[in-house]
Every structure is written in structure tokens, then in C-alpha cells.
Chains A and B, each alone.
Chain A
Amino acid sequence: MKALKIISLIFGILIILSFITANIFYQKVRKLVDANYLITMLDEANLKRFGRMQNLDYSFEIFSQKDVYYPYEKIRIFGKIVKKTDMSIPENAVIEIRLLQNNRPLRTISGDTKVKLIYNPQQQVWIGNWFPENTGEYGDVVIRAEGFIDSPEASIKADGKLFISETPLAYHIEKGLAFFGIESRERISKRSLLSPEAREVNWHTIPQWVKFVSADGVFMLAGITKTFDETTTLDNPWDRDKINEAVSLAERIRQSGGFAGVWLKTLELEGNYLERVGYKPAYHIKDNAIIKDNSVASIKDEERKRHIIRLFSTFMDNNNIAYVGLSHIFNPPSYDIELFDSFIREFKITVPENWENMSHNSRLSYFNERMKTRDFADNFAKWKNFVIADYLREIIDKSGHKKPVFYYASHNELSRNPEMISILFSSGVDFIVLNLSMPYNQIASEMARLRQINDINRYHNRLILSYEIDYNNVDMPDFETSAIENYVNANLKVVKLGSEKLNAQGLLINDLYKAMFGKRGPYSPYDWMLGAGKSIYEFKRFSSPSPLQISYFSSPKVTNQTAFTVKFKVANTSTKPLYNISIRLLPGINETAQEEFRASIQSLEAGSETYIEIPVKIDRQKSQFVRKKHFLGMRVAWSEERRFDDRFGYVDFIPIMLIETQDNAEKVET
């Protein structure tokens, strides 16, 4: 009995001691319980959910090529599985990855939430590409990988992480910039143009025009490749004369205090002989057949890319050039078929087993067949955006990005690829010059459409917009307003209607030579230049109001007169006095001698206003075309300091409708 007592006492003390130790060394007890007993209590589905069923025989790592990715960048993911015991690699294993952002799965451009990594025997890792569908998702992303080893063993899991960041903006352009565009492919030195005094002059007068209308500079096409020119070779791909001209104009513009932007045409070449030069052509699908385009270089052509980078870097290094740009990278959706091999490889498209042994042509026809399915073609188009973004990024990065980079885009290009603006800004482009061309009465609806489909709205502060000079677009046959007035309104509408919140950053007159030689209708080059000048003046007033307000009093209809008087009210709405204010009538319909039509005011105190009258003599026979209206151009100039003359100024016009009636034809009023 005594022994029993002792045993009981010992057991009692043991229980107490065991509870004390178990509480002190709780973590170890927890592990022991987890390892031996918990698994038997939970079913397999729950275990999977908790991710507890780890296969401890293998080490599994998952990582991306870079830590930070930008939109439209292919995310390259690597996985590595090694057996711990003998360091062997289970080559038959399959790795599946998912990307999660805030525990929400991300999708690829094909709509999948999972991507398989494929084993690469050379590098001894599993590699896969993720093309994110929604490129506007920024922030931390978790790579959740699951490896299935080719044996009846539990799958293994690993997590990795990466960060998706918005592409930083390298250069911001000022608000209210206005430029003249020159997109002529011909050499401008061979073409004449009108000077501000309406005399026929050469291209050296362009800086004068820039100053005359108070524009900020010129954007000019500088890099073109003429494949029809026999002197164009792989060693000399660019039209040297055109480049020299552009650089020389840039120098003149800079000397006169302006900014010059030059751009080069990347993939679209002049003429149909690119193979003679040594470039590789782009292929496209037309009527179910694959056809090569001898005027478009392939995006795959490394030689072309090298040439673009070289010229782009030259422009970057030139101090006279303020902005450097590119154009013609976005081909129509049916183009760039030659990329099919890369697409199949990167997108892991299932192909026939003997794919590697198939001839190029049979592979191409297999691809052509697959392109008939809508999903496949869509995926190809979306994948191409990533290729273009890479292409642009490489050009910009390799040339240094020492000054603002722009892309010169056409309306067509934008309509064809709604993602164009996002792609450009994601690849390092700082601003876009967008040329719009649409009938005047469709501007509001078209701008609303662009706002909805494209990112115009979001990036309006990085856009310079232009409305192409085309008489047919701005002439409204049933309206009294003239084409020139509509052109001015069109320019203002496009810069305003692209966004509900803000105006476009800049305005470009597209282009100087279209005003001189383009589809001008019955209006003279000078009339179009007045329209351009007034557009620039009105546009600049959006961001910085003019200190001088001029309003005129003149009958909009002039019946049978050849001379009349225009009365101007000149008001200084600023808080500083203004000096040397002048209103000068410009040549056109008015034929008064230069000295007579210049009215000037020595100084005008802040807040005061005055009236001046200018007599106008017009030549009714000057225009041989029937026009709705004639334009009395004027240049208003002033300076903020007494000693300067014509420091600031703008061009405006008064539209006048000339009416002749039979019974009063002889009456002349003076």
C-alpha cells in the first residue's frame, strides 16, 4: 500500500511537471503535435487549402527576371526544382504559376489565370512568359507557383514576388506650346513659300513665320529612307539631304529662340525596293494569303533597328534639336506576320509534333490557318503590342533619352490600335503629336469616340494635337462660315474636346506646306496662314490670357465698297503698362500701302482702353475664286518695356463677306 502511495505521488508530480514543461516549451510541443497528429485529423482537401502538405524532399524556387516591371513588358518567370538528397533535377516536372495582386488573380492577354513553365535543359530551369492583360494594374504582385513532380508525390509550392510600376515620365512639356509641322517627304529647300509679307521666299523664312505668329517652334520630318534611290544602301540608309535640311532648320529655329522637334519614319519606307537596299520586308495577310510588303521594313529586322538607333542618337546629341521623335511603328493588325515564330515560341502555342522539321512555308501556312480563328488573331495582335513596346524601349534606352521623346501619330494609326497611347507612354515616350483628320461636323462625335476607346482623356496633358489642313473637311456648303473660320474652330475643338477636364498640352499646325500647297480650296496660302496664326493665338489664350484685348467694330458684310474703316478697341487688361502697341493690317485683300495701315499707340496704362481707326482699301478683283469670305489679316504687337519693339504679338483676322449688288455697282464709298 505504501508503494502504491509513492507511485501515485510520483505520477501526480509527473503530471504537474509535464504540464509546466509543455507550457514553457510550447513551440516544440506544437511542432510535435502538427507533425504527428494534425494531418491525420484533416482531410486532403483541407490540407491542400492550408498548403501544409509540403513535399520536403525537393527545394523549389520561383523568381522573375527583374524585380520591377513596366506595363507592356513581358514578365519572364523562372522556376527551379532540385531534389535535396542527390541534387538531381526532376526534368519531367511541370510548373504552373499564377500571379496574384491583393489576393486577386491576374489574367494574361489570352484570359488565362495560369501559365505553365517549360523546362529548359541548357539553363536547367523552367521558363515561362506572362503577358499581363490589364496593363494598368500597378503594385506588388505575388507569383504563386505549384510544381508537379512526375511521380505519385504531393505537389510542391513556392512563392515569389515582383512589382509592376507605372513608367516614370522623363520629361514634361510645358502647357500651351504651339508649333508648325512640316511632314513633307520632299526636300523643303526645293519648295518656295510665302513670307509674312506675302512675298515668295525660300525655307529660310520659316523662323520668321514662327516669330510672326508667336509659335514656339517647328516639328519636322527628318529621317526617311528612299528605297527607290540608288544611292540608298545599308551603309547609307537615310536621305542625307533631308537630315541636313532638318538640322539646319533646327539651328535657325533655336537661334531665333524657338524649339525644333525632328522625327524619323521607322518602319515605313519610301518606294518599294527595300529588299534591294538590304532590309527584310514585313508580311501581311491579304485575302487569306500571306504577302510581303516591299515598302514596310520588318520589326524583326535588326539592321533597320540599328539604323534607327544610330540616327535617333545623332538627333539626341544635337544641341539645336529640342525634341526627338519616331513615327510609323504601328502597322495594321494584319501585318507583322513574320513574327509568327516568336509568337508561337513565347506564347507556348501548341503546334504539330513535327513543327521543328516543317519547312518555313508550311509553318507559315499553318499559322495563316490558325489566324482565321478570332481568338488566335486577337492574341497575336495583343502580343504584338508587347513586341512594339520592347522595340520602342530599346530605341529610346540605347539612344540615351537625353531630351523629350515624342511619337508622331496619325489618326488612322490610333483608330487601328486603341492601346497605342498606353503602349507609347509605357515604353518611355514623353509626349505624342497626334494628327487628326476628320470632317468639321464630326469633330465632337469623333473626339468623344477617341475619348472612350483610347486613353486620350487620361493623357491629355501629354498630347500635342493637330487638325490637318484640308479644305474638304472644313468647308460646310450650307453654312455661311468660311472654311478658314471653321479651320480655326476645328483646331480649338480638338484641343478642348479630347478631355472633359483639361485642354491638350500643345497645338501643331499640320502643316506649313499643306497651307502653302495642300488642299486649299479657293483660299490662298496666306488665308490659311492667317487661320493658323489665329488658331495659335486663340489656343495660347487658353493657358495664358493676352494682356492686350483687341475688339473690332466692322460690318461683317461689305456691299460694293472698296474702302471702309475698321474701328478697334484696344484694352490693357493686365496690371502693367504696355508700350509700342501696333495693329498692322496684313497683305491679302487689302491693298493699302504698308505705312498707311499701321496704327500704333506709344503706351497704354494698366486697365485703360482706347479706340483707333484704320482705313482699309480692298481689291475686289484680287481673288479669281468664289469664296464665302475674305480675310483682313492683322498683326497685333506690343512690348512690356519701353525700349523693345514687337516683343509680343499675334496674328488675327477679320472675316469680311464681299457683296456686290447690280444697281449699286458704280457707287464707291470712301
Chain B
Amino acid sequence: MEKKGFLSIFLIYTVLMFLVSALAVILFFRLFPEQVILVYLFVGAIGLIFGFLSYLPFKDLSDKKRSSK
């Protein structure tokens, strides 16, 4: 169960983060092609917010993992 929980949270996070960051980078680079640093910072910020938002729905998976210990 432990391994299964970790794998699923890892896969879900990776796929979602990849999707969001890829979309964000493509969009912001097209909009502001000259602002390279700003684009990365902005995308990073979005990543943090998204990460935080993704934490709650999948919190149980890691909680279960912790409780089983």
C-alpha cells in the first residue's frame, strides 16, 4: 500500500506539473518573448500555487502512508 500510494502521488504530481508548466511557459513566452527571467519567475509562482492546490486533494495518500508507519 505504501509503495502504491507513493507511486500514484508521484505520477499524478509529475504529470500535472509537467502539463501546467509546459502550457504556462509556452503561453508566457509567446506573450512576452523578451522577458525571459520574468516568464520563468511567473511560471515558478504559478507552479507553487498549483502545487499547493494539488496538495489537499491528494493529501490522504501521503497521510495514509504516514499513519501506517
Contact = CB atoms under 8 A, between A and B. Distances in A.
Interface stretch (A6-14, A60-68, A488-496, A640-648): A6-14
Interface in A406-424: none
Interface string B40-57: 000000100110111111
A36 to B, nearest CB: 12
Interface stretch (A18-26, A263-271, A339-347, A612-620): A18-26
B31 A12 contact: no
B27 A23 contact: yes
Determine chain A's interface SS by DSSP, over half rule.
helix
Contacts of A22: 23, 27
B45 to A, nearest CB: 12
A26 B30 contact: yes
Contact of B31 (A5, A8, A15, A33): A33
B53 A8 contact: yes
Nearest to B54: A12
A29 interface: yes
A12 B57 contact: yes
Interface residues of B, number: 19
A5 B46 contact: no
Contact of A8 (B23, B27, B57): B57
Given A4-B56, A5-B59, A12 B50 contact: yes
A16 B24 CA distance: 9
A6 B50 CA distance: 14
A50 to B, nearest CB: 13
Contacts of B50: 12, 15
A16 B53 CA distance: 12
Interface in A18-48: 19-20, 22-23, 26, 29-30, 33
24 contacts: A4-B56, A6-B57, A8-B56, A8-B57, A9-B57, A12-B50, A12-B54, A12-B57, A15-B20, A15-B46, A15-B50, A15-B53, A16-B19, A19-B20, A19-B23, A19-B24, A22-B27, A23-B23, A23-B26, A23-B27, A26-B27, A29-B27, A29-B31, A30-B30
Interface of B: 16, 19-20, 23-24, 26-27, 30-31, 46, 49-50, 52-57, 59
Top 9 nearest A-B pairs by Cβ distance? Answer: A19-B23, A8-B56, A12-B53, A9-B57, A8-B53, A5-B56, A11-B53, A5-B57, A22-B27
